[in-house]
Amino acid sequence: MYNEAVKQGGLAVVTGSASGVGLAAAMRFAQAGLGVVLADLAGDALESAAAQVRKAAGDGATVLAVPTDVSDADAVADLADQSFAAGEVAVLMNNAGIGMPTGSWEKADNWRRNIEVNLFGVMNGIHAFVPRMIAANRPAVVVSTGSKQGITTPPGNPGYNVSKAGVKVMTEMLAHDLVQAGAPISAHLFVPGFTYTGMIQRFMPEKPAAAWTSEEAIDYFIARMAAGDFYILCPDNDVSSEIDHKRIAWALGDILENRPPLSRWHPDFADAFAAFEKTD
């Protein structure tokens, strides 16, 4: 559906677009000929990002910067009002996210904030935009940015994992419901690999060799979205698609074989997983 949406023109609305993969996506959508609405928290970063996209889009293109806290349903509704007032929405990319540290029995406030931004932020975007996109009856796409941590759920940050697992389920149901409604709109789950974004840069001043750039991740994503994929798991310079598939299969095997949860990291199963990951 993406190619048809671009061919018909309109706007791409990208949340979390002041930096990282959100900004890279906004740039690519502008270069494809779409107008762009950048949404992020108010500040210099959002204005700077909008200036970069305007330069990439060229004269006459619609490029708007709309300060938005995606956890605030009213703010996202206002974003939708401003976007539809500016034109038809061809792409909605619910990308904004945070990764505040949590533990299984601690940091409850961080749990809530992760879920408010990462999960409810996506829900707010879907609720504010999709009914009007369906009513427009034009080719369009809805993108949710998930995480491999929402699929294999590694130990370390359960609150983040839960929020991203919820994004996966929500987007799966959205894709199903759009088909049932007969809408000319496709949904896609964008799952970056190890990507050097602003969030990572705070801890690693220099890009690790294993990481992809935001542009590499977005280029891979757009190519697979254009091909019609729903699940778009990006590899990186350290983890291939084949390794991703092994890890996901092992995680599902925990249920099918009644192993301990997260057995990939369990001392009694670590060697078995390592051998499994190496098999052809």
Could you give the CA distance from residue 25 to residue 262 in angstroms, rounded to a whole number? 33
Residues 144 and 184 in one domain: yes
Q: In the prediction, which pLDDT does 201 show?
A: 73
209: its two tokens: 């060799």
Q: Do residues 211 and 220 make contact, with C-beta atoms less than 8 angstroms apart? A: no
Both 109 and 225 in a single domain?
yes
In this structure, the answer to whether residues 61 and 111 fall within a common structural domain is yes
Q: How far apart are CA 119 and CA 123, in angstroms?
A: 6
Is there a single domain that holds both residue 78 and residue 14?
yes
Active site residues: 160
CA 242 to chain CA centroid, Å, is 21
State whether 202 and 123 are in the same domain: yes
Tokens representing 271?
A: 């060697």
CA distance 35 to 54: 9
pLDDT at 274: 95
Residue type at position 276: F
The pLDDT of residue 243 is 96
Same domain membership, residue 253 and residue 160: no
Same domain, 166 and 280: no
Question: How large is the average pLDDT for residues 13-36?
Answer: 97
| Section 260-280 average pLDDT | 95
Q: Rounded distance, CA 197 to CA 254, Å?
A: 32
Q: What pLDDT does 200 receive?
A: 74
Could you tell me the pTM of the whole model?
Answer: 0.95
pLDDT tens string 80-95: 999 999 999 999 999 9
Which range of residues forms the domain containing residue 245? 240-280
pLDDT of residue 12: 98
Residue whose entry in the numeric block shows the structure tokens 């931004």? 117
| pLDDT the model gives residue 279 | 85
pLDDT tens, position by position, 170-225: 999 999 999 999 999 999 999 999 998 876 777 788 888 999 999 999 999 999 99
* pLDDT at residue 113, rounded to an integer: 98
- The rounded mean pLDDT for the chain is 96
Domain count of the chain? 2
pLDDT at site 60: 87
- One domain, residues 120 and 244: no
Residue 16: the pLDDT is 97
Task: Note the pLDDT of residue 206.
Answer: 85
Both 123 and 182 in a single domain? yes
60 and 89 co-located in one domain = yes
Q: Is pLDDT larger for residue 20 or for residue 206?
A: 20
Q: What is the pLDDT of residue 203?
A: 75
Are residues 228 and 267 both part of a single domain? no
pLDDT digits 0-9 by tens, 124-155? 999 999 999 999 999 999 999 999 999 999 99
**What CATH number is given to the structural domain containing 97?**
3.40.50.720
Tell whether 87 and 216 lie within a shared domain: yes
pLDDT at 92: 98
